[in-house]
Structures are given as structure tokens and as C-alpha cells.
């Protein structure tokens, strides 16, 4: 038996249901039945005609268009219980949770843009009479300019160094950072405390309090699909991936002593002469992280603001074993042209140069996220230049979280 919400009794039931659930629910279409139940004498038993009519309701109406993609679909039953709810499109059904008493169902996923969904609800009244209701609705279309996509480093399945932050880059600015951050989670085994830090409205990073422990397994869960980012922008896709932390490679560079020491899991395994930036091109002191590796790359002074043809210009086509440390252009690489100065003087334009043999050895054992700690200069490394996240104490770093 169903209850029409066009009748006074139906409207009262819906109002009471909305007050209990704290929802603004729109009743499903149902057949009208305005008969009042017969009274039951004391000690008597109710007949089937006296069973309260089942009322099913949802917060989307039949045939609705332009339904917001961040709508979390909810269904409720009064004077009965929900037996099953399916919300989907084609063969794909959205996940949802049915309450223990069968009174409510709530979708666990937001909706996709420009998509037609079918909602099928099965309920029973107190007498066990079964009611099935089906409705369809369509969500609002979104252009690519109304959606922001999250790129993530490291890549899924990648093995990285102990200094690797989780780096999330958005192609369109996120204005509501707090809402997004509440849906961005990093977990690890073994567990390690950490924090998000927003570098800008298009980049957020997460780092642990201290360097990762070797062997840690990390999971990144960005539940951002159709989540409002503010200014009419929505998350384009959720991202879920895992990566592993490899051995602890810590490279310590003393620019004043012109030397690098290589530590693997706490053990000193190598040491060799190097050269760093000369006057006017001083290499930054602080903690850097290897961002990318290239067996060979062209290096041109024009990419770092040195004009072609000037006294300090350069254009080298085949620089071997190059590993980037900053976005401003500092690398570790082979520098056979400066072997005579390595271990003696700083003659580079800011990069750390070494012999080809030493550079090849270091490159072979290195991975993204390995740590390079620099001392010996008066030019500090900054948080934003590359993955400089370790250059702030953790207490200061976590102030960059949108959640305080």
C-alpha cells in the first residue's frame, strides 16, 4: 500500500520525516489512498487494512534535470523499511549504505556530470507488503573549465627515497582548500604522522614529520570527484594509488669543502670531490630532494635567465647523468669539463658537478625522493623551489594546512 503526498495525511508524514532526518526530501510518486485506518478496540488486533501506509522518499525527484553533481542521494522509508536501493547508470551502481533499521539509505559516492541515473527502491510495510519505485534523473553537464584534475607524484607502484613528499597538482585553482583537504588522505604502514601544506591554490604537498622509514608502504586517497572546489569548479576525478619507500639514500654536500658524502641506510659508502656554484651563482644550502633523472639532457643558460652570447652563457647538448634538485635549475650531473676544479674550487652556475664516473655511479643507485643535504653557502634553500618541504620545521610546515 502506498501513501500519496498530495493528500493532507501524506504531506504531514513527509513533513515529519524531513524533521526527523534533517533533510529536504521530495516524495516519490505513488498511488493515492486516502482511506483512514479503522479504529482498533482495546485488546483487539489490527487487520491488514489498518497497517500504516508505507511512504518512500528521496532528495531527487523523478525526471529532474540539472541535478548538481555534488548531490549525495538519500532515500528514506516511513511506516516500513527499505529492502534494497540501487542507484546507477547502465551496469554500474554507486555504492551506498543502508541503515541498520532499514529507515534510510545514503549514497557513498557523488554523481558524474551529464549522466542519466536510475534510482530503484524496494520497501515493505509493517505487514510485509512489498512496494517498488523507480525514477530517473539527469545531472548537470560540466565543461573542462569547470573541473579540476589532480596529478599525483609519486606514480602508482613507484619506489622512492625517504624524502619524497606526496605532491598533488591541480590544473585549475582550488578556492575551497579546506573542503578538498578533508577528502585528501595519506596513510602508511608503519604509520607516520604528517601534514598537508598548500604551496598555492594549484599545489598541495604532504610530508611526514621526519624522513620516511625505509620500507614504508604508502597509500594516497583523493576522494575529489564532483567535490566543489569553489568558484563553480568541481573535482574531475578521484585518485587512489600506492607507492613504496626504498633504502635511505642521504647525500651530504659541503660546498665550502667541495666534497660529497654518500650514506646508504646510515652507512658512509662513498665520498668524492665536487664543484658547486661560483660567485654570482651560489648553490643553495638546505635540504633538497631528487625530482627527476635524465641519462642525458641539453642544458642552456637561457632557461635560467642567462642571455645567449653573454659572458656566462652556455649551451651543452649532452650533459650526462643529470638529476634535478630545484625548479630554478640546480642539478647534480657529470661535468668532465671541470674535473680540474672539483675538490678545489666552485666554478659552476649553481649545479653540483663531478666526474663522469662518479656521476654514473651515483645516478645508478639514486631514485626520486632521495635526499641531498647542502651546507657551506650563505644562500638558503626555500620551501617552494622544487620539493623543498624539509626546509621548514614540522610545526611551521603544518601551518600550511587549510584545516589549521
- Compute the average pLDDT of residues 399-403: 98
- Cα–Cα distance measured from residue 12 to residue 15, given in angstroms and rounded to the nearest whole number: 5
Query: Pairing relation of β-strands 96-98 and 249-254?
Result: unpaired
What residues contact residue 44 under an 8 Å CB cut-off, 6+ apart?
none
The pLDDT value recorded for residue 42 is 44
pLDDT of residue 81: 98
Residue 241 pairs with which residues in a beta bridge? 220
Task: Say what the pLDDT of residue 47 is.
Answer: 54
Average pLDDT of the segment spanning 177-192: 98
Mean pLDDT of 97-108: 98
Q: Considering only residues 318 and 26, tell me which one the structure prediction assigns the higher pLDDT.
A: 318
Query: What's the confidence (pLDDT) of residue 49?
Result: 54
Tell me the average pLDDT of the chain. Answer: 89
**What is d(CA 65, CA 71) in angstroms, rounded to the nearest whole number?**
13
pLDDT in tens, 261-295: 999 999 999 999 999 999 999 999 999 999 999 99
Q: What is the mean pLDDT of residues 367-390?
A: 98
C-alpha grid cell, residue 151: 596529478
Residue 156 CA, chain-centre distance (Å), reads 13
Q: What integer pLDDT is reported at residue 25 of this predicted model?
A: 36
Task: Work out whether the CA dihedral 382, 386, 392, 397 comes out positive or negative.
Answer: positive
Bridge partners (DSSP) listed for residue 275? 353
Res 245 pLDDT > 80: yes
pLDDT digit string, tens, across residues 306-357? 878 787 778 788 999 999 999 999 999 999 999 999 999 999 999 999 999 9
Q: What is the arithmetic mean of pLDDT over 13-37?
A: 36
* Active site amino acids: 333, 351
pLDDT at 404: 85
Amino acid 118: pLDDT? 98
Strand-pair partners of 260? 253, 272
CA torsion sign for 286, 291, 292, 297 is negative
Residue 300 pLDDT > 90: no
In this structure, what C-alpha cell is assigned to residue 10? 501524506
Residue-level pLDDT at 211: 98
Classify domain 145-246 by CATH architecture: Sandwich (2.60)
Asked if 145-246 and 249-391 have one fold, the answer is no
Is a pLDDT exceeding 90 seen at residue 27?
no
Q: Could you tell me the residue ranges of all domains in the chain?
A: 8-138, 145-246, 249-391
Decide which of 129 and 23 is more confident.
Answer: 129
pLDDT band at 235 (very low <50, low <70, confident <90, very high): very high
Residue 34 has pLDDT above 50, yes or no: no
The answer to whether residue 8 scores a pLDDT higher than 80 is no
Tell me the pLDDT tens digit for each residue of 139-160.
Answer: 999 999 999 999 999 999 999 9
CATH value of 8-138 in 2.40.50.100, 2.120.10.30, 3.20.20.80, 2.60.40.3780: 2.60.40.3780
Calculate the CA dihedral of residues 111, 113, 116, 122 and round it to 10 degrees: 10
Is 3's pLDDT higher than 70? Answer: no
What band does 170 get if pLDDT is binned at 50, 70 and 90?
very high
Q: Which three cell numbers stand for residue 40?
A: 482498533
What integer is the mean pLDDT of 356-369? 98
- Closest by CA to 106, choosing from 94, 123, 124, 118, is 94
Cβ-proximal residues to 127 (8 Å cutoff; 6+ apart), any chain: 48, 51
Cα separation, 380 vs 285, whole angstroms: 5
249-391 CATH pick, 2.10.109.10, 2.60.200.20, 2.40.440.10, 3.40.50.2020: 2.40.440.10
**Is the pLDDT at 48 greater than 90, yes or no?**
no
Rounded CA separation 38/10 (Å): 17
User: Which residue, 379, 278, 275, 384, is CA-closest to 328?
Assistant: 384
CA within 13 Å, CB half, 229: 24
Query: Is the predicted pLDDT of residue 129 greater than 80, yes or no?
Result: yes
Amino acid at each position: 500500500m502506498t501513501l500519496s503526498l498530495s493528500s493532507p495525511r501524506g504531506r504531514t508524514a513527509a513533513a515529519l520525516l524531513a524533521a526527523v532526518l534533517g533533510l529536504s526530501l521530495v516524495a516519490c510518486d505513488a498511488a493515492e489512498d486516502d482511506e483512514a485506518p479503522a479504529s482498533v478496540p482495546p485488546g483487539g488486533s489490527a487487520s491488514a487494512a489498518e497497517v500504516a501506509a508505507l511512504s518512500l522518499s528521496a532528495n531527487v525527484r523523478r525526471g529532474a534535470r540539472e541535478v548538481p553533481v555534488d548531490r549525495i542521494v538519500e532515500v528514506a522509508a516511513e511506516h516500513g523499511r527499505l529492502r534494497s536501493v540501487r542507484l546507477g547508470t547502465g551496469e554500474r551502481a554507486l555504492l551506498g549504505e543502508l541503515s541498520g533499521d532499514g529507515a534510510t539509505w545514503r549514497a557513498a559516492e557523488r554523481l558524474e556530470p551529464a549522466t542519466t541515473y536510475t534510482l530503484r527502491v524496494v520497501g515493505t510495510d509493517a505487514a510485509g507488503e512489498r512496494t517498488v519505485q523507480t525514477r530517473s534523473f539527469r545531472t548537470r553537464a560540466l565543461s573542462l573549465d569547470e573541473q579540476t584534475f589532480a596529478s599525483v607524484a609519486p606514480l602508482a607502484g613507484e619506489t622512492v627515497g625517504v624524502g619524497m613528499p606526496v605532491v598533488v597538482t591541480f590544473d585549475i585553482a582550488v578556492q575551497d582548500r579546506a573542503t578538498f583537504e578533508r577528502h585528501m588522505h595519506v596513510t602508511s604502514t608503519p604509520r607516520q604522522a604528517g601534514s598537508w601544506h598548500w604551496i598555492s591554490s594549484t599545489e598541495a604537498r604532504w610530508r611526514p614529520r621526519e624522513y620516511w622509514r625505509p620500507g614504508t608502504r604508502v597509500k594516497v586517497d583523493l576522494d575529489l570527484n564532483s567535490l566543489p572546489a569553489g568558484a563553480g569548479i568541481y573535482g574531475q576525478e578521484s585518485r587512489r594509488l600506492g607507492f613504496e619507500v626504498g633504502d635511505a639514500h642521504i647525500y651530504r654536500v659541503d660546498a665550502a669543502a667541495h666534497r660529497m658524502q654518500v650514506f646508504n641506510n646510515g652507512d658512509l659508502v662513498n665520498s668524492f670531490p665536487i664543484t658547486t656554484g661560483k660567485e654570482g651563482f651560489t648553490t643553495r644550502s638546505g635540504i633538497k630532494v631528487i625530482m627527476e633523472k635524465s641519462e642525458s639532457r641539453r642544458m642552456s643558460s637561457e632557461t635560467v635567465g642567462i642571455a645567449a652570447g653573454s659572458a656566462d652563457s652556455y649551451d651543452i647538448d649532452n650533459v650526462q647523468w643529470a638529476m634535478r634538485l630545484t625548479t630554478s635549475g640546480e642539478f647534480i650531473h657529470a661535468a668532465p669539463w671541470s674535473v680540474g676544479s672539483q675538490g678545489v674550487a666552485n666554478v659552476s652556475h649553481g649545479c653540483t658537478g663531478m666526474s663522469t664516473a662518479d656521476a654514473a655511479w651515483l645516478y645508478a643507485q639514486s631514485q626520486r625522493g632521495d635526499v641531498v643535504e647542502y651546507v657551506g653557502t650563505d644562500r638558503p634553500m626555500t620551501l617552494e623551489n622544487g620539493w623543498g618541504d624539509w626546509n621548514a620545521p614540522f610545526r611551521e610546515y603544518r601551518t600550511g594546512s587549510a584545516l589549521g
